Amino acid sequence: MIPKREELPGIIMEFKVRSSRKERTPKETVKAALTQIEENNYDEELLTLGVKRERILHYGFAFDGKEVLIG
């Protein structure tokens, strides 16, 4: 999400459905989502637009059936 004003943060969200073959818990799925944000350099577009790195928030959403964990 690109902030409309300089004082607002930029927000990057990654949504993942827990795969029982890859993760045992929703917490592991959140960790995988946050790792994906870092490895794929999702901050780059916001940085290019002038958003400072310390103003970018990362959120990982893990879905496991009807349960959702956000980290």
The tens digit of pLDDT for each residue in 10-26 reads 999 999 999 888 899 99
Distance CA 62, CA 31 (A): 9
pLDDT tens string 6-64: 889 999 999 999 988 889 999 999 999 999 999 999 999 999 999 999 999 999 999 99
Task: Return the pLDDT at 19.
Answer: 87
The residue behind tokens 């990654």 is 14
**Which pLDDT belongs to residue 20?**
83
pLDDT (0 to 100) of residue 68 = 95
pLDDT of residue 56: 97
H or E, element range at 12 = strand 10-17
